[in-house]
Structure 1
Amino acid sequence: MKGKVLVFGGTTEGRILSDYLRDYCIPHEVSVATEYGRDILAEKGEDKLLVGRKDRGEIEKVIKDGSFTIVVDATHPFATVVSEEIKGACDSAKVRYLRLKRDTGKELTGRDDIIYADTLKEAVSALAAISGNILLLTGSKDLQDISDSFPDVSRLYARVLPNEESIGKCAKAGLSGKQIFAMQGPFSRQMNVATIKEINASAIFTKESGRTGGLSEKLEAALECGIKAVVLKNPENKSENSEGYSLEKVLQLLAEHCEIEIVLQKNITLAGIGPGGEEYFTRELTKEFEVADVIFGAQAVVRNLGNGFIKKSHKEIPIIPEYSGEKIYKYLEENSEFKHPLVLFSGDISLCSGAKKASEYFRDRNYKIKRICGISSVTFFAERLGLSLEKVRIVSAHGRQCNVRGYVAQNEEVIILPSDADNAREICSLTAGSSQIIGMSESVTAKAQNTGENMVVTVGCDLGTTDEKILKISEKPELAADISGKCLIYVKNPAAVHQPAAHGLSDDEIIRGKAPMTKEEIRALSMRKLALTGNAVFYDIGAGTGSVSLEAALLSPDINVYAIEKKDEAVALLQQNKEKFGADNIEIIHGEAPEALDLPAPTHVFIGGSGGNMGKILATVFTSNESARIVINAVTAETFAEIMECLRDYPNIEPDIIQVFACRYKKAGRYHLADALNPVYIITLQKGEKHDRD
């Protein structure tokens, strides 16, 4: 490794840069002006420190004596004299000079309540024209110049660092007692508002120091309090020729100079906070609060942190009401000084779709992600109800389409996470009826009714808070009106234990009418050939009464079924059967294929009737998904011939063809007579599929 780096810091940017230099073991030292700056860096683990202000000659001597080969100026943007001294010393010592420039954002022009000044003299003149008390948020450096030019020093109040030097400058400038706020930042908007109100300020004075200097929080506080803000412009922004680099560019240049590779992998922590109260924070989360320098979360999650745990930890850090990965990323890109962002989610992140999306978003952008689990609302709810979770199916309907009735039909115990209180009431209305309504066959319903057990529906609202409610909706349906806040639903369906382990419907259970229906023996073989997966997108083309659609929908609540049917009578029967079996994952498409197939790409397709459009249907399906698995039922020789002719266009498909003969027997007196079903061809098509039956 070549090169040795000298950093002039004391600023947030300088501290972040020194963190990277230590992480990559780059030889360096950091020069700070004050002991206060030294103490902050020492707390972060920096042990290569030079303390004290230096002129050009002293800086040049440090460069030569320390054999430094490159210098980074990370001083405050308003320390222009210091920057000139550093740059001059570098020129004399013939070493490279890099200016780490702070992004101070854009001016808020066109506002009467925000006044920008090019010089300190202009700023003091603007302040003097405002009656009432003035809160100075520019530190102690310029206090003497301000008080010398200000007509009434008794109207000035200053917030400075809590050290002897700063307080001494306040006294020398004529400020004393309650005019001095000796505090360590950073400061939140709320803290700034409190200070403004404490002295009944009419205006604040601040420097254009960007996010790092808390400019946004200061201006937001002034606007909230309805007072003026006088802003001293960043001198570096006034010169078009002012050369400077971002932190990322400085690190890139240092890597090239020292002949090493620096990978700027950033860090972010995603954490669940449980029900929300501090008493439910995990120890790991408590430790994370100590290192976080910015916190994100939905408004409902972060709204109490400012006056709660964060304040107890004796540090004020920005709390941003946002949980979208994209928006958080944009904020962090615009405010690169934050190195330890923490994103909070209610409950546990393993049951939070927001945490999952944020994880994927930041992982794709080379972030190192730390995940901290919390006490989930499901665990909390189970404890309140005295449940054992090993047999409970947990279903999220939060912000997504979910076939809740399907899950309830198949599972004796279900805990549902709804989107909100309205969604919870809607789900309760679907699940609080008889077992027949939620998708049970008549035989299963009869068995369930013989047990004498009724369905149980219970809602937990705002668990772990002072507003907590446990509502037993199945006992008192009118309690559904009291559902509010964040909630969960528990449903116990005794009928589910009587569901056959092997799926399949009897023909007698399906409402038939005059529409054609695939018989159950043929359905059983066709379903086996379809080999539906749990996340299938399934087309039932020529659905008729919907017998195949029902078989698919009841196989798993996660299967998305599209029943395509052109005849009005059949569509009406489809709707009746969908309601009878609670098959909410069936979407009925009234139309003719292939025109009606403008749908999500299918993974599986059943063709029970093509209306003479077999070639066009196959072309449409394979265009949408060339790997789709298709099963076709053909009764007539003409239909079979049509299919075989169409397959000439697909030489890479080897069809699997079987012909099924089934015969039922009916009792006639003391005899059983054969009642044969029509022979049916079952043809399976899938690209790349091989069928060797030798």
Structure 2
Amino acid sequence: MKSKVLIFGGTTEGRELAELLDRAMIPHAVSVATEYGEEIEENAGEKNLFVGRRNASEMADIMRDGGFGIVVDATHPFATGASEEIRKASIEAGVKYLRLSRDTASGSEYGEDVFGVLNLDEAAGKLMEIGGSVLVLTGSKELKNLTSKLGSNINIYARVLPNEDSLQKCKEAGLSGRQIIAMQGPFSKQMNIALIEETGVDAILTKESGQTGGFAEKLQAAKECGIKTIVIRNPESVSENSDGKSMSEIIREIEKETGALVRTITVAGMGPGDEKLFTVDIRRAIQGADIIFGAATVTAAFRELTGTKTPTKDIYRGEEILEFLDEHTEYMRPLVIYSGDISLCSGAIKATEVFEKAGYRVERIPGISSVTLFAERLRIDLQNCSILSAHGKDANVTGHAMKNERLIALTSGYKHALEIADKLPENMKVVLGYELGSKDEEIIVIKDSAEKEASKCEIPDSNIKDYTGRCLLYIENPEAYTNSVYPAIGDNEFIRGKVPMTKEEIRSFSIRKLGLTAESILYDIGAGTGSVSIEAALVHPDIKVYSIEKKPEAIELLNKNRRKFHADNMEIIEGTAPDAMDGLPAPTHAFIGGSNGNMKEIIEKVRALNEEAKIVINCLTPQTLSEVMDIVATYENITPEITQISATRFKKAGSYDLPDAQNPVYIISF
């Protein structure tokens, strides 16, 4: 299958298609009729060009010699003769022919003062009825034919391209001086109005050329000036036999024939919010986009900054964007904007996955992140700084701060940032960065361990000023590198009461048997004082621990110890297992220190929630061990590991060290 594409262009649509193929790295070439067309294509970056008018036989030779498998006819909708020659050449060369049509009628309203005609003869007849003078906006090709039909009855002004060929055709049509207006478009409504007022014409003559031909702007200008408009209808739009396809249909045909992905969605980060911080790539993407998606706050800020006239849509979720694009196939160069840097944006990451799964090629453009700006403002080195996103999700910022000397956390806003700061130990330095890179930027010191008086750090009141913008936290922990890598908390460090506690020798071995990972969800059933919960939670800040306990005095101790050790990834569940486990996320691990007589029901519930969950049980008595073994024996393919640990500590008694044996404990894991 030949995958090389030949585009007969010279139109905006042709250039857009060539650009899409270039970005998709699909081999292609563009054929244009004139040197002016060549100049336009070269300025657009096209390197593979055929220049000159050719008949069907000559076109067929190019198709065969160049190894082209697909021909796209993207010539002007009124160039019917050229299209017929291209069609004949494709048949002769045995090449697939695709006609790229233009939606030319969009935005037109035929009726009072706007007259649709089928050809130049009808247009001339209508102009003779109107009389006076006319501004011709149909190009130079048929000027001579038009002037011969109108004679000296109508004064003609013609706006044509500023090249020698167009000027020569004006002279051949008998036009001279100020009758010739040589200008390069596109033209705004205001420019058209100015030209109508300058020439004082009674009517304009235009083709139904669509959005790329500035059709709507011409109609609007004539209407506001109170003059009449004669429109030569697009032959394809009035024909019942047109085989023209939209750009999206052409793209799908090329993808089908070549096996390559042509459809592209650009996902970009706009940076912190100041236009001066836009990258060169994002500026290029903005200029090339035909629609821009993003959250309402992002698109609003974007429109204010850039003044863009490109349509925007306030959606940013991948599925919603795809649904919109499926309903609006006219958009071929969508741009999805996210604030900051897309590598730090979960929304951009998810959207990319959705787009690629749907068959789009995704171009990703990173922006300057607020993290980078924050580091610059604080004069810190990012290579020694960890980054954590707590924006819109549950993240254990305290746990990560305790593990890292320097941490930057993305938060969900000012209130959320202050809540995080309030949980952090007093020995840490905490700085808030607000709306970095914008005119509202503030650097606020919340805590500073170097300051002896907390009152020296004044936190702005959100009731006085509306702090609704983006917030980051910089957290510095001077004790991070002196902390033990493994928690290894001594028994005497816990707040104790009369509630039983798993001793550190047993606790250490039990946690080792659990084999926790960073993504573990641990049930600590019969949590007691929380020694296992706390130590497991401190193994890694992303572990989630659910401490299940029914005794009120134990619940009080659990809360106290959680606060003391800043175990924010530990949640206390008050109640009796297994009922208290209802509604919790499925466990990956479970530690059973006390069952309240419900051992069988607890094990069954854990396995029902996750058959692969690792379970570790502490048994003090042979009877409990026997009960557990009988329960485990009912399950096939489970071989429990059993370990008995007897620990003896020595305590000082005068000049002697006396042994103090602890109760032996059976540790069962499966």
TM-score normalised to structure 2 length: 0.72
Q: Measure, in 2, the Cα distance between the counterparts of 1:233 and 1:644.
A: 88
- Corresponding residue for residue 539 of structure 2: 555
**Of 377, 380, 387, which aligns to 2:373?**
380
CA contact 1:24–1:262 (8 Å) conserved in 2? no
Q: Measure, in 2, the Cα distance between the counterparts of 1:549 and 1:218.
A: 74
Counterpart amino acid of residue 534 in structure 1:
A
Deviations 1:346-387 (A, max 9, x none): 444433333433443344445555555544322322232232
Deviations 1:158-196 (A, max 9, x none): 99877688899999999x9999895545x9xxxx68779
CA contact 2:265–2:334 (8 Å) conserved in 1? yes
CA contact 1:560–1:585 (8 Å) conserved in 2? yes
- Corresponding residue for residue 507 of structure 2: 523
2:562 paired with 1:578: yes
2:412 paired with 1:415: no
Counterpart amino acid of residue 14 in structure 2:
G
Q: Measure, in 2, the Cα distance between the counterparts of 1:468 and 1:558.
A: 31
Q: Measure, in 1, the Cα distance between the counterparts of 2:315 and 2:181.
A: 35
**Of 508, 529, 533, which aligns to 2:517?**
533
**Of 405, 425, 438, which aligns to 1:465?**
438
2:619 paired with 1:614: no
Residue 460 of structure 2 aligns to a residue in which SS?
Answer: helix
Deviations 1:317-369 (A, max 9, x none): 66666554445555666677777665554444433333433443344445555
**Of 629, 643, 646, which aligns to 1:658?**
643
Deviation at 1:527, TM superposition (A): 1.1
2:634 paired with 1:635: no
Q: Measure, in 2, the Cα distance between the counterparts of 1:562 and 1:535.
A: 14
Deviation at 1:524, TM superposition (A): 1.4
Q: Measure, in 1, the Cα distance between the counterparts of 2:216 and 2:350.
A: 28
Deviation at 1:618, TM superposition (A): 3.1
Q: Measure, in 1, the Cα distance between the counterparts of 2:303 and 2:174.
A: 34
Compared CA separation, residues 261 and 30, structure 1 to 2 (3 A): closer
Compared CA separation, residues 278 and 654, structure 1 to 2 (3 A): same
- Corresponding residue for residue 633 of structure 2: 648
CA contact 1:270–1:355 (8 Å) conserved in 2? yes
Compared CA separation, residues 660 and 617, structure 1 to 2 (3 A): same
- Corresponding residue for residue 460 of structure 2: 479
Mapping of residues 293-312 of structure 1, within 5 Å = none
Residue 416 of structure 1 aligns to a residue in which SS?
Answer: strand
Q: Measure, in 1, the Cα distance between the counterparts of 2:594 and 2:391.
A: 37
Deviation at 1:289, TM superposition (A): 6.6
Q: Measure, in 2, the Cα distance between the counterparts of 1:104 and 1:651.
A: 68
- Corresponding residue for residue 450 of structure 1: none
2:60 paired with 1:79: no
Mapping of residues 59-74 of structure 1, within 5 Å = 59-63=55-59, 72=71, 74=73
Compared CA separation, residues 375 and 66, structure 1 to 2 (3 A): closer
Residue 40 of structure 1 aligns to a residue in which SS?
Answer: helix
Greater alpha carbon shift after TM alignment, 235-244 vs 10-19: 235-244
**Of 677, 685, 691, which aligns to 2:662?**
677
- Corresponding residue for residue 564 of structure 1: 548
Greater alpha carbon shift after TM alignment, 379-388 vs 73-82: 73-82
Mapping of residues 189-228 of structure 1, within 5 Å = none
- Corresponding residue for residue 46 of structure 2: 45
2:392 paired with 1:399: yes
Compared CA separation, residues 92 and 545, structure 1 to 2 (3 A): closer
Deviations 1:262-292 (A, max 9, x none): 4225555555454444554556666767777
CA contact 2:2–2:258 (8 Å) conserved in 1? no
Q: Measure, in 2, the Cα distance between the counterparts of 1:138 and 1:592.
A: 84
Mapping of residues 89-488 of structure 1, within 5 Å = 89=88, 98-102=97-101, 104=103, 115=109, 121=115, 182=183, 184-185=185-186, 242-245=242-245, 250=250, 261-267=258-264, 270-277=267-274, 279-281=276-278, 323-329=316-322, 343-365=336-358, 367-431=360-424, 435=426, 455-474=428-447, 475-481=456-462, 483=467, 485-488=469-472
Q: Measure, in 1, the Cα distance between the counterparts of 2:136 and 2:421.
A: 55
Overall identity of the aligned pairs, in %: 43
CA contact 2:24–2:260 (8 Å) conserved in 1? no
CA contact 1:116–1:230 (8 Å) conserved in 2? no
Residue 632 of structure 2 aligns to a residue in which SS?
Answer: helix
Counterpart amino acid of residue 483 in structure 2:
Q
Deviation at 1:682, TM superposition (A): 0.9
- Corresponding residue for residue 444 of structure 1: none
Greater alpha carbon shift after TM alignment, 322-331 vs 41-50: 322-331
Deviation at 1:461, TM superposition (A): 1.9
Q: Measure, in 1, the Cα distance between the counterparts of 2:253 and 2:210.
A: 24
Q: Measure, in 2, the Cα distance between the counterparts of 1:370 and 1:404.
A: 32
Residue 115 of structure 2 aligns to a residue in which SS?
Answer: helix
Compared CA separation, residues 75 and 666, structure 1 to 2 (3 A): closer
Compared CA separation, residues 542 and 71, structure 1 to 2 (3 A): closer
2:577 paired with 1:603: no
Compared CA separation, residues 4 and 193, structure 1 to 2 (3 A): closer
Residue 526 of structure 1 aligns to a residue in which SS?
Answer: helix
User: Any unmatched runs of 5+ in structure 2?
Assistant: 119-126, 128-134, 198-203, 222-228, 448-455
Counterpart amino acid of residue 11 in structure 1:
T
Q: Measure, in 2, the Cα distance between the counterparts of 1:308 and 1:616.
A: 62
Q: Measure, in 2, the Cα distance between the counterparts of 1:241 and 1:343.
A: 38
CA contact 2:548–2:574 (8 Å) conserved in 1? yes
Q: Measure, in 2, the Cα distance between the counterparts of 1:270 and 1:561.
A: 37
Counterpart amino acid of residue 591 in structure 2:
F
Residue 521 of structure 1 aligns to a residue in which SS?
Answer: helix
Counterpart amino acid of residue 625 in structure 1:
N
Greater alpha carbon shift after TM alignment, 42-51 vs 674-683: 42-51
Mapping of residues 678-693 of structure 1, within 5 Å = 678-685=663-670
Q: Measure, in 2, the Cα distance between the counterparts of 1:615 and 1:178.
A: 99
CA contact 2:618–2:668 (8 Å) conserved in 1? yes
Deviation at 1:539, TM superposition (A): 1.6
CA contact 1:236–1:242 (8 Å) conserved in 2? yes
Deviation at 1:667, TM superposition (A): 5.9
Q: Measure, in 2, the Cα distance between the counterparts of 1:217 and 1:650.
A: 78
Compared CA separation, residues 140 and 630, structure 1 to 2 (3 A): farther
Deviations 1:609-667 (A, max 9, x none): 23444344334433433332221112222221122112223332222110112344566
CA contact 1:159–1:183 (8 Å) conserved in 2? no
CA contact 2:545–2:571 (8 Å) conserved in 1? yes
Greater alpha carbon shift after TM alignment, 390-399 vs 139-148: 139-148
Deviation at 1:535, TM superposition (A): 1.9
Q: Measure, in 1, the Cα distance between the counterparts of 2:602 and 2:218.
A: 65
CA RMSD after TM alignment: 5.6
Deviation at 1:536, TM superposition (A): 1.4
Q: Measure, in 2, the Cα distance between the counterparts of 1:240 and 1:573.
A: 83
Compared CA separation, residues 248 and 552, structure 1 to 2 (3 A): same
User: Any unmatched runs of 5+ in structure 1?
Assistant: 53-57, 109-113, 129-135, 222-228, 436-453, 686-694
Compared CA separation, residues 349 and 77, structure 1 to 2 (3 A): same
Q: Measure, in 1, the Cα distance between the counterparts of 2:551 and 2:196.
A: 76
Counterpart amino acid of residue 50 in structure 2:
L
Greater alpha carbon shift after TM alignment, 532-541 vs 593-602: 593-602
Counterpart amino acid of residue 613 in structure 2:
A
Residue 555 of structure 1 aligns to a residue in which SS?
Answer: coil
Q: Measure, in 2, the Cα distance between the counterparts of 1:613 and 1:146.
A: 98
